[in-house]
């Protein structure tokens, strides 16, 4: 009996030791090349580049294609794309929800919370009393009756224009100033240096939140969405992908960011002129603590500890 118990224990230990390798081997060969859609937005380019770097260290050969949002949501149900890290909600709800309800795409994880879009002001302007959307009209003369937006044709500018045309918050006498993102932010920086009030369209994550001491206006009556433009970003996959590729799926479930992290990542790209890959590598080397959480329960393709492989791949 004693020998039989010992033999059973040894078998259990051997089986337990083989579990990671068996889990990796359980993935089909198609899982070796995870296919990502990058819609070209700086935040999504950065997070997708980091995902690609990590998967390479795990022995995968990720493929990243630049696709529009519309094409991405055609490609996922067809199985031409495996993963999309840029499902901004509720902004993309009209296109995403019908596909989810029809079982044509899967939602794996919320990879970013705390995102926001809406009107913002410099901190000095906020401290002076311009804190809500209803306060804008009270500062009309100091603001020159102007609200600064981004490029013509954007959904943000359309929302601001509707506010003005509908005299929402008493803004009928205001003018929307349309320009590029860079020109708008340059105007904001000039106003800050001159200690003049300004109202502009802001969003987070974005380096503006690092470079400008700013505040978002509240009590916006859901003009930019519920909770004053609060947003989150979801990870989507083609249907059944996580079940088919459980090791990659485990990583995708763990792969989450904080807005402060993406603010910095985007700053490396937009302010320092780095590529998404270079920015991702720099940020990972500065923040190696994220690796253990992201790689919890994840192995390399051949069943070895994932976190160790990623550290080795990054030279950490």
**Do 29-113+231-314 and 115-230 come out as alike in CATH topology?**
yes
List all residues 6 or more positions away from 93 whose beta carbon is below 8 Å from its beta carbon: none
8 A C-beta contact, residue 33 and residue 61: yes
Q: What is the pLDDT of residue 20?
A: 43
pLDDT at 90: 87
Structure-derived torsion over alpha carbons of residues 137, 141, 145, 147, reported in degrees to the nearest 10: -70
Query: Sorting pLDDT into bands at 50, 70 and 90, what band is 147?
Result: very high
Q: What is the mean pLDDT of residues 124-134?
A: 98
Mean pLDDT, range 257-265, rounded to an integer: 96
Mean of the pLDDT values across residues 147-174?
Answer: 94
Please report which confidence band the pLDDT of residue 22 belongs to, taking 50, 70 and 90 as the band edges.
Answer: very low
85 vs 38, 46, 169, 201, 229, CA distance in Å?
8, 10, 36, 24, 20
- Report residue 6's pLDDT band, with 50, 70 and 90 as the boundaries: very low
pLDDT tens readout for residues 80-92: 999 999 999 988 8
Over residues 157-173, the mean pLDDT reads 96
Predicted confidence (pLDDT) per residue in 86-118, tens digit: 999 988 898 999 999 999 999 999 999 999 999
Average pLDDT over all residues of the chain? 91
Mean pLDDT score, 177-193: 95
CATH class held by domain 29-113+231-314:
alpha beta
Q: Is a pLDDT exceeding 50 seen at residue 4? A: no
User: Phi and psi (nearest 5°) for 15?
Assistant: -65, -45
User: Which pLDDT score is estimated for 18?
Assistant: 40
Q: How confident is the model at residue 27 (pLDDT cuts 50, 70, 90)?
A: confident
**Residue 266 pLDDT > 80:** yes
- The pLDDT, as a whole number, for residue 154 is 83
Burial bucket for residue 74 (CB in 10 Å: 0-12, 13-18, 19+): middle
What is the reported pLDDT for 14? 35
Q: What is the CA radius of gyration of the chain?
A: 24
Contacts of 47 (CB under 8 A, 6+ apart): 85, 86, 111, 255, 257, 262, 265
In the predicted model, is pLDDT for residue 17 greater than 70?
no
**CA distance between the termini of the chain:** 49
The span from the CA of 87 to the CA of 76, in Å, is 12
Instruction: Give the three-class secondary structure for 315.
Output: coil
- Lowest-confidence region among 23-27, 66-70, 136-140, 219-223: 23-27
CA pair distance 248, 301, nearest whole angstrom:
9
CATH topology for 115-230 is D-Maltodextrin-Binding Protein; domain 2 (3.40.190)
pLDDT over threshold 60, residue 11: no
Residues 6+ away with beta carbon under 8 Å from 312: 57
Q: Domain residues of the chain, as ranges? A: 29-113+231-314, 115-230
SS3 90: coil
What's the pLDDT at 190?
97
Segment 13-21 mean pLDDT: 39
Please say if the pLDDT value at position 77 is more than 50.
yes
pLDDT given at position 246: 97
């Amino acid at each position: 009996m004693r020998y039989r118990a010992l033999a059973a224990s040894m078998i259990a230990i051997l089986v337990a030791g083989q579990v990671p390798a068996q889990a990796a081997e359980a993935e089909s060969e198609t899982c070796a090349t995870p296919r990502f859609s990058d819609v070209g937005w700086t935040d999504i380019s950065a997070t997708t580049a980091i995902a690609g770097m990590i998967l390479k260290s795990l022995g995968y050969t990720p493929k990243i294609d630049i696709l529009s949002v519309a094409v991405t949501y055609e490609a996922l149900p067809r199985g031409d794309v495996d993963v999309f890290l840029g499902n901004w909600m509720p902004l993309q709800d009209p296109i995403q929800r019908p596909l989810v309800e029809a079982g044509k795409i899967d939602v794996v994880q919320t990879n970013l919370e705390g995102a926001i879009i809406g009107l913002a002001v410099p901190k000095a302007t906020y401290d002076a009393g311009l804190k809500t959307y209803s306060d804008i009209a009270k500062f009309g003369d100091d603001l020159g009756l102007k609200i600064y937006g981004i490029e013509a044709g954007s959904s943000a500018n359309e929302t601001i224009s509707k506010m003005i045309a509908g005299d929402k918050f008493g803004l009928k006498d205001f003018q929307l100033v349309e320009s590029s993102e860079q020109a708008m932010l340059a105007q904001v920086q000039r106003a800050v240096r001159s200690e003049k009030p300004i109202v502009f369209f802001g969003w987070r994550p974005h380096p503006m939140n690092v470079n400008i001491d700013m505040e978002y206006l509240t009590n916006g009556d859901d003009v930019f969405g519920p909770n004053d433009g609060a947003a989150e970003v979801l990870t989507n996959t083609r249907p059944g992908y996580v079940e088919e590729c459980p090791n990659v799926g485990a990583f995708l479930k763990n792969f989450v960011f904080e807005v402060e992290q993406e603010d910095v990542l985007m700053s490396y790209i937009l302010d320092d002129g780095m590529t998404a890959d270079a920015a991702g590598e720099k940020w990972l080397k500065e923040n190696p603590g994220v690796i253990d959480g992201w790689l919890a329960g994840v192995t390399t393709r051949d069943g070895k500890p994932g976190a160790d492989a990623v550290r080795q791949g990054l030279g950490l």
